[in-house]
Every structure is written in structure tokens, then in C-alpha cells.
Structure 1
Amino acid sequence: MLRFTFFFKKWYYCSAASAPTLDLINFSILKMKRFFLFGFGLVSAAINAQDTIAYSVNSEIVDFKSPEVETYKILDAFEGSKYDSISQKYNHEGIMVTEKTFNWDAKKERRVYQGIHKHWYDSGKPFYTENYKDGKLDGNLVAYHENGKIRRKDRFKNGKLTNGHVWDEEGNELEHFPHFKRANFPGGKDALIAYLRNNIRLPEYIKTGETHKVLVKFTLDTEGKVAQYKILESPEDRFYTLETLRVLDAMPAWEPTELFGKQVNTFLTIPVVFRKG
């Protein structure tokens, strides 16, 4: 008998503009011809003040002198501030594109979004601002088109939308739609679990009660296809890694993540546990 263990956790998806949190099943695959390390969002709760991290266009951590550097972030402690830390992201031209503030949540034992987060287009023009309280949207979310005209105004309370308006680039009001839509496997989480259960095979030599885990991570692209993969953890026996990759590589396309109605890339991770008996 093959059993799967899935963990649902907060994860940060990466786009050119923002990274709201997701509660998702998270997946990844490693393609033999491409291998990238992803590291968007908070790198570590224990990172020191004034630490700076450089990323390539593929979000691989690189040296600042590398010609591949596309963006980087600075995490800085606020002495005497109501916030514990700040995260700033810049594009390759040195223009700040995101600024976020965080506080430490002792119960959850991790940093959570707190206060006003600001986002800019790569041109440096304002994109949108959003307000967080204890990790949840709370207050106003205001977005602008790149021509400077208002794009949307949403009001949130404890993570829930209470009212909102959306406008096009000419100032015409549109039918309201969610500012963020998470990626979805066709048929939902149950269908995803069923797909894996029905397609992943156990090796003939696995013993009853024996357990093996493969932790995989990938980018879900704007077409909902799995791309740019990395194995984070796997047994010495390559069977489990290769079998996981075989099945995930054939996985049907997802409905991609959308931000302000535009499809964006998503980073996802999942541990798959093989167990007999």
C-alpha cells in the first residue's frame, strides 16, 4: 500500500510585483537539463540585520559581482521601531520594487507581515500598497495603473474583503474581481492527491513499515505548467526521486496564479512520503 503525507503551509509566491502568502499543496520537480535554486521571500528567521542577498533572474542566490544578478533584498532590523524587520527588493537597475515590514509571531514561531507594504513598477512608478495586521490583510489595498490612474481600491478586515472597486486604464469602472487568485490543480486538492496515489509506484523491494520521503520544489509558470525544478531532500536510493519526478513531470497543467487579473509564476513545495503497509 502506498501512502502520501502532504503538508499545507504558508509559502511565498514570487512575481515581479508582490508575494502574498498562500495556503497550498506545494510541489516541485527537477528536470535533468535545468536545475535552479529558488529563494524568494524571507530566507531565514535567524538572518542578521544588514544582511543582503543577491538573486539571479531565476531567483538563484548568487554573488553580488555575478553578471547574473537581477534582484536583491536587504533585511534590516528597526531599532526602536514597532516592526522587527524590513525587506526591500530592487530590480537590476537598482530601483526598489517592494518594501515590506514584519513582526515576530511567538505562537507561530515565524515572521509575519505587519504594516503597510509598498510595491512599484520596474519603472519606479507606484504599483500598489497593502496593509497587514498579524499576517493578514487588514485595511486598504490601493493599486495604480502604470499611467498613474487608479486601478483598484479594496478594503479588508482580518483577511476578508469587505468592499472594493476596479477601474481600467481610462478610468472606467469594471466589474470587481479578486486581486489575487491562487493556483489550483484541476479538480482541487483531492484530485491532486488522487492523481499522485494512482500514478506513483512502490519498488518491489520496499519492506512493510518502511518509509521514504522526497521533498521537491518547483515553479508553476503562467500557463500552469511545472518548470524549473529542484530536489530539496531525498533518500539515497534514487528510485524514489526518479519515480516522483516521473509522475510530477506528467502532471496536467494547473490553473495558474493570478495577481490583479494577470497570470504570474508561483513557487510551490511538497514532501511525498512512500510507505508500505
Structure 2
Amino acid sequence: MFNFASIALLASFFVSQAAAHGGVISYVIGGTTYQGWQPYNSPNGQSSIERPYSSFDPILSATASTISCNNNGQAGPSQLSATVAAGSKVTAKWSQWTHAEGPVMVYMAKCPGSCTSANSASLQWFKIDEAGLLSGTLAKGQWGNGIIMQKLEWTSTIPASLAPGEYLIRHELLALHQANTPQFYPECAQLIVTGSGNKTPSGSYLASFPGAYKQSDPGVNVNIYTQEAQTITTYKVPGPPVWTGA
């Protein structure tokens, strides 16, 4: 039988586990702050531009069915969308993040009509921003995730030439602090893009989730603690190349 000390110890364990990870909790778009999904609160009454997700815990498989938006692919019960002009900036914010090693990746996907009725696992995604190993070596370098750790935010620009329409934006942190055990942290939000752009990416710029990565990809299956990692100064960010709209 549990006593109070055991219950307190168990509770502190789960708190420490949540504190070790993180997720996007708000967005700043055009000077307006949009409340993100609150994963540890009841979904009842939550209304957000962010797709619902359940916890700050990582996804451990590159081919998990939940890897598109850290959920079953569906919109929330009271889903909102934020309007953003092509060429403007979107800032995602985290409340906590403690893993310095690994890349930051930002994707978008055009919805075939209303995003609220679109399953994120059925969409074609294109990458608009990334930051992998910025300097130094795999073992002792400055990574995109290190910037998140310091600032708890990431700002990306919507390509100015992107055609108007409804899109999902997907922020993903890939934590590499455990040898050959990648941890994926994706969250998504709904956008309505405006402007006079007329371009959308195609071909090798597009990818599916799941499907964009394999567990064996060199940018996914990484051991930063080997002797070799002490001297390696290059890293290939997983997924397709960044589409700038050019």
C-alpha cells in the first residue's frame, strides 16, 4: 500500500519528467499573442489555433502515427486559425526546454480546403526553416536546440511568395541528448495565409509525416558521445531541403 511519502515521491517523479521536456505553448503573429494548447489541462473549453496534444513527452519513433502533430491528426473541438500575411514572421514560444543538442525544424502544409477538417497525417509538408549544428562539433557544439533552451522561442518567416490559403505550421525539436535514441517534439497550429503570392513547393521539397524520416537516417540515429563525435563538425538535418519560395 502507498503511504503519503510514496505518493509524494511518485508525484515529484512525474513533475520532473514533464520538466525535462517541453512543447509550444503560444504563438506571436503580427503583434498578437495566441494562446497555445494546454496539454495538462482538460480539453473541455479550450479554444486555440494550436492543434491539441496530450503531454510534453517525446515521440520515440520516426514513423509513429502521431508524429505529424503529436496527436491523432485531428483538429481540436473548438479549433481556431490565425491570419498571417505571407512574408511576415511567426514566433513560437516554449515554457520550458532543457535539451541543448539537436535541430529545430519548421514545416508548413497546405490544406485542401479548411484545415479544421484536414488530418495532418494526410498532408504534404514543406520545410520553411531549420537550424542544426551551428558551430563546433557533434559532441561539443552549438545547436538550434541550444537557442531554444536559452530563449524559449523561435521566429520564422512565412515565404513571401507563398500562395494564399489555409495551412498548418509545424514546429519540431529533435533532441539528440540520448545516444541513438532520438526524441521528437512536434506541435502544429492553423494559419490562414494572405497576400498576392502564387507559389507552392513541389517535388523533393514535399514530405509526409510519417514518412519524412527513418530511424536509420544519419541526422536521426546519432551518438554525440563517441570519440568520433568529438571531431565531426557537420550534421545533416533530417527531412527535405528548406523551401524559401524563390
TM-score (structure 2 length as normaliser): 0.27
Structure whose residues are more often strand by fraction: 1
TM-score (structure 1 length as normaliser): 0.24
